[in-house]
Amino acid sequence: MPIAFGTSTTATGNNVTTTVITKPSSTADGDMLLLAILVSESVGVTPTVTGSWTQKVRQDMVATGDNQDSTLILYYRRASSEPADYTITWDGTYGNYGAAHILRYTGVTKSGDPFRTTNVATSGASTTAGPVASAALTGVQATDLAVHWSGACLSSWNGNDHNPAGPGGSWVERGEIVATAATSTPSVMAVEQLGVGTAPSFSATGTGTALVWNFIAGALIADQGVIGRPNIVSQAVGRASLR
């Protein structure tokens, strides 16, 4: 079977306290869990999460030269006797507001790094409601699932809401969460599509559209033991027909 989305959970928080994000429902051993965290006002932050999560990509907009205080981080974990929830420490040194989600997938490779390739992009130093393109991916195979994460937050700090969206069409949205109670109103969402390397565009509507955008893109590798297994019944029928 191909890679398939299962369930997701979301959370928001700030540097005053830790935040609990629950395990996606129906999680079974071997499922791939992908955790994306956006922290706004985030120079030098290093969020931590309970459990054995592997940090795959960290995209800091100050470090890129955009000079916008927004950091998007992607982690992964293969489910194994999962706890009921995980605790996020947003980094109280200088991480004011954050948004996070966990996406659960089945059919992902059972060993090693689950990503064939990754890439990153930002909206630059200017603010915009979009559309803004994510990063293109190279070497994507037909059975890979391309997933693009958008982390957006208000640069103006005016407390207004925004509603992020992907391009629609063949791109399916997953795990949208907006921290509406926070001044910077950070948001995280993802879009996915099978077997494509092109970059989708994101945009936002609402009263707060002076946004900065941070993107991480990755192509998940399918479990070849599942998709590559020969059909024993059809082979047997084929041999019988030649007799």
Structure confidence by residue, pLDDT tens digits, 38-60? 998 777 788 899 999 999 999 98
Q: 146: which strand partners?
A: 193, 219
Range of the domain at 64: 4-224
Asked if residue 204 is part of any domain, the answer here is: yes
Q: Which residues of 50-78 are buried (b: 16+ CB within 10 A; e: fewer)?
A: eeebeebbbbbbeebebebbbbbbbbbbb
Token pair, residue 139, equals 């070497």
- pLDDT category at 159 given cuts 50, 70, 90 is low
Q: What average pLDDT does the segment 108-114 reach? A: 97
Asked if residue 237 is part of any domain, the answer here is: no
How many domains are there within the chain? 1
Asked if residue 234 is part of any domain, the answer here is: no
Higher pLDDT, 33 or 162: 33
Do residues 145 and 220 touch, judged by C-beta distance below 8 A?
Answer: yes
Asked if residue 230 is part of any domain, the answer here is: no
Which region holds residue 123: left if phi is over 0, alpha if psi is between -120 and 50, else beta? alpha
Q: Model-level pTM greater than 0.75? A: yes
Cα–Cα distance, 241 to 243 (Å, whole number): 6
Cα–Cα distance, 143 to 195 (Å, whole number): 6
Asked if residue 63 is part of any domain, the answer here is: yes
Q: What is the mean pLDDT of the chain?
A: 89
Asked if residue 235 is part of any domain, the answer here is: no
- What is the per-residue pLDDT across 201-228, written as a single tens digit (0 to 9) for each? 999 998 777 899 999 999 999 998 855 4
- pLDDT category at 174 given cuts 50, 70, 90 is very high
Calculate ∠ Cα 105-57-210, nearest 5°.
95
Asked if residue 241 is part of any domain, the answer here is: no
Task: Give me the pLDDT at residue 196, please.
Answer: 98
> Smallest Cα–Cα separation from 160: which of 224, 205, 198?
205
Higher pLDDT, 195 or 96: 195
Asked if residue 240 is part of any domain, the answer here is: no
Task: Give me the pLDDT at residue 158, please.
Answer: 65
DSSP string across 144-186: -EEEEEEEEEESS------EEE---TTPEEEEEEE-TTSTT--
Cα–Cα distance, 18 to 87 (Å, whole number): 7
